[in-house]
Structure 1
Amino acid sequence: MIRSIYPNSKFACWRYNNCGGNWAHTMRKSIISFLLLAGFVSGSVVADELKLADNAPDSYVVVKGDTLWDISGKFLKQPWRWPEIWRLNKAEIKNPHWIYPGDVIVLGSCDGKPCLRLLKNTKADGRNGSGKLSPRVRVSPLEGDATPSIALSSIEPFLYKPLIMDMATFKAAPRIAAGPDDRVMYTAGDQIYAVGLPEAESGDTFQVFRQGKEIMDPDNPKQFLGMEVNYLGDVRVHRSGDVVTLKVVSAFREIQIGDRMVKTPERNFLNYAPHLPVETITGKVASTYAGVVDVGSLMTLVINKGALDGVDVGTVFFGYKAPRSIAKEDKSEPDRITPPIKSANLFVYRVFPNLSYALVLDSTMPVNVGDAAIAEAATPAE
């Protein structure tokens, strides 16, 4: 079966991107077909009833540091399906019922299917039998000790800083134009000057960034997807004008003449629920943050699919290791490859037109640039 999908003489050149364009395109389609036909990312998984985790508890007391993904993973083999086991409607998925440390989650049955209920913990009263567990529902912004969908500490550095730009946007951004002396690098406490900020007011804060590496499409190395920019620090407007006077508030790296700026956005954590897309999206890992080679759980990577491809915040991809060729002991043997192996769940938390940033969850092996990233279409509810 495998040999009928992968032509014998071509696998090696596909793997190292040395093939002609038409054959490589055909091979990429064949690999995705193999993944789907082999059942590694089968729609039947989505259509199945919710599968409880082995040794799923009858109840669980929420503790600080939990996430909704982690909590649901205690009850489900597929933690990305937590909106289903919580039986949330579409409105609630966008603004879920927040859960707090000390809350009690009880596994029950709703219409013959497993479901979770959030109950109020009566502590001592419940232990002596004089009290009881009663339903409680909270709907509020994500703040304080509220339990988030995924680990906010892992994604916060990527939520409010410029990460991906096209060259035109980068060149049009306000720039650091001069310093008060002949130095070429500046750090916290220094005064510097910028241009391109006609509407800046005293007290406004801006993030400073510098051009970074270009991100190319793994499926087409000549196709530019976006430019990664490097965050340097923060500056505050001291005096407005055609030439704006700034003070460097913080410097993660030294700031130089020619670096660009963007106004600091308001901090407002989003907490969208995980979901599968309406139509299957097939992509690859295009890049990793800070050049990390082996990406593990709670680390960020870049997928070569974005808003233009139907990706939105909360889309769940599944990472798969690329097939590897099997060594021959005799030239007469046909070319063979290993079947793809699932390596991790990938939760998209920030989306650009052609790219997405995803948090790696539940990884069983390192995720690398070039690995497959597939978001299988959700099966409509009956």
Structure 2
Amino acid sequence: MVRIISALILAVTAACASAAEPLTLVDNPPDRHIVVKGDTLWDISGKFLKQPWRWPEIWQMNKEEIKNPHWIYPGDIILLDVSSGSPRLKMAKRVTGQSGKAQPTAHSTPIEQVIPSIPSNVIEPFISQPLIVENQPKEAAVRIVAAQEDRMLLGTGDSFYASGIPDASVEKWNVFRKGEPLKDPETGAIVAYEAFFLGNARLTKPGEPASLRVTLSKQEMARGDELIPAPLPEIMSYVPHRPDREVTARIMSIYGGVQEGGASSVVSLTRGKKDGLEVGHVLALFRKRVSVNIDDNGVKTETPVPEERYGLAFVFRVFDNVAYALVVDSSKSVIIGDAARNP
């Protein structure tokens, strides 16, 4: 797929001059960076900024450009410009042709080579597979009702029947089994249920029931297992940015069923689209705890410890009431119940 990228990706605008605080560069930042395969927008931003989530400000992006950024490819050259007194990044002009003049560059690099926001190999399973099942009427669920030849268990290549698929508008489906409930650490209310991914299926004939064939089986499927439409593939190219409004969330779970995590852990949060969260948002992680001491007489005293900020998380998938984020920076262990707020 050919993308035409202008010599200068972003021009100076006055719209982003209202930042609450000046942009702070890292010590001894490079004057340029040549993008290589394996880079992420987060990595590149961190080479220049002490606050990588302020990427849109140093590029002077508007809101539309944050959601639909100009893609960056391996081989592109990013320059740091401080001539105006305020740091900004821009794309270098490439010298092409016999005249030696700078010309717009036509990128014919495959779309998969686009530099992603965060490591795609870490989050790919969380993008292509169902993660949660939000509350929905039981009668609205699409589920397996029978298998050919009355088989009890299904695997790759097997055919089955499912209810709730009246037409052929959706061809590819994910098959899952409802797992443990995700509860708000503060209220104890069930926010959603984990989805245990079983595999993929393709619609062969719509109807009631509809006919499908298993195209990929991670685990054996059975009658009663549910289906949801498979999401379309996408490139995680949203630039890191802070939420426009105040967001206060809690960590509900850490992927893998563990109680503690760290950098590169995937966590679920108690807020979602309805609360203003979107892909690309960066949240700071905080912990507020109570220090407990028992003296020689067995008397216990509790001392509240001031809240401490210890990490950052990048939101990469959002549902109505739940979001999933990758912990991109952490100075200590991540614990269920920790707070996530605007950085």
TM-score by length of 2: 0.83
Match of 1:49 in 2: 22
Asked whether 1:259 is paired with 2:225, we answer yes
Match of 2:321 in 1: 354
Asked whether 1:372 is paired with 2:335, we answer no
- For 2:179, give the aligned amino acid: G
- For 2:84, give the aligned amino acid: D
Asked whether 1:151 is paired with 2:119, we answer yes
Post-superposition CA distance 1:7-53 (Å, at most 9, x none): xxxxxxxxxxxxxxxxxxxxxxxxxxxxxxxxxxxxxxx73211111
1:309 and 1:175, CA in 2 relative to 1: closer, same or farther beyond 3 A? same
Asked whether 1:107 is paired with 2:80, we answer yes
Q: Report the CA distance between 1:329 and its aligned residue.
A: 4.0
Q: Report the CA distance between 1:258 and its aligned residue.
A: 0.5
Q: Which moved more, 1:100-109 or 1:159-168?
A: 159-168
Contact in 2 for aligned 1:307/1:354 (Cα 8 Å): yes
- For 1:97, give the aligned amino acid: H
Asked whether 1:116 is paired with 2:89, we answer yes
1:297 and 1:171, CA in 2 relative to 1: closer, same or farther beyond 3 A? farther
Post-superposition CA distance 1:210-239 (Å, at most 9, x none): 111111111111x12112212211112233
Aligned equivalents of 2:138 and 2:283: distance in 1? 29
Aligned residues: 323
Contact in 2 for aligned 1:225/1:355 (Cα 8 Å): yes
Stretches of 4+ aligned residues off by more than 6 angstroms: 137-142, 330-334
Aligned equivalents of 2:339 and 2:228: distance in 1? 33
- For 1:51, give the aligned amino acid: T
Please state whether the residue corresponding to 1:365 is helix, strand or coil: coil
Q: Report the CA distance between 1:372 and its aligned residue.
A: 1.3
Asked whether 1:190 is paired with 2:163, we answer no
Asked whether 1:176 is paired with 2:144, we answer yes
Aligned equivalents of 1:110 and 1:350: distance in 2? 38
Identity of aligned residues (%): 41
Post-superposition CA distance 1:288-343 (Å, at most 9, x none): 22313332333311111122222222222111233241425478997423333323
Match of 2:71 in 1: 98
Aligned equivalents of 1:137 and 1:335: distance in 2? 63
Asked whether 1:338 is paired with 2:305, we answer yes
Contact in 2 for aligned 1:318/1:346 (Cα 8 Å): yes
Q: Report the CA distance between 1:287 and its aligned residue.
A: 1.3
Q: 2:282 aligns with which of 290, 299, 316?
A: 316
Match of 2:175 in 1: 208
Contact in 2 for aligned 1:142/1:271 (Cα 8 Å): no
1:326 and 1:291, CA in 2 relative to 1: closer, same or farther beyond 3 A? same
1:268 and 1:185, CA in 2 relative to 1: closer, same or farther beyond 3 A? same
Aligned equivalents of 1:261 and 1:356: distance in 2? 21
Match of 2:11 in 1: none
- For 1:159, give the aligned amino acid: I
Aligned equivalents of 2:63 and 2:93: distance in 1? 24
Equivalences for residues 158-307 of structure 1 within 5 A:
158-169=126-137, 171-200=139-168, 204-221=171-188, 223-307=189-273
1:56 and 1:328, CA in 2 relative to 1: closer, same or farther beyond 3 A? farther
Q: Report the CA distance between 1:188 and its aligned residue.
A: 0.7
Please state whether the residue corresponding to 1:235 is helix, strand or coil: strand
Contact in 1 for aligned 2:155/2:216 (Cα 8 Å): yes
Please state whether the residue corresponding to 1:325 is helix, strand or coil: strand
TM-score by length of 1: 0.76
1:347 and 1:170, CA in 2 relative to 1: closer, same or farther beyond 3 A? farther
Larger fraction in helix = 1
Q: Report the CA distance between 1:266 and its aligned residue.
A: 2.2
1:82 and 1:142, CA in 2 relative to 1: closer, same or farther beyond 3 A? farther
Q: Report the CA distance between 1:61 and its aligned residue.
A: 1.2
Aligned equivalents of 2:212 and 2:206: distance in 1? 9
- For 1:213, give the aligned amino acid: E
Please state whether the residue corresponding to 2:177 is helix, strand or coil: strand
Q: Which moved more, 1:208-217 or 1:271-280?
A: 271-280
Match of 1:60 in 2: 33
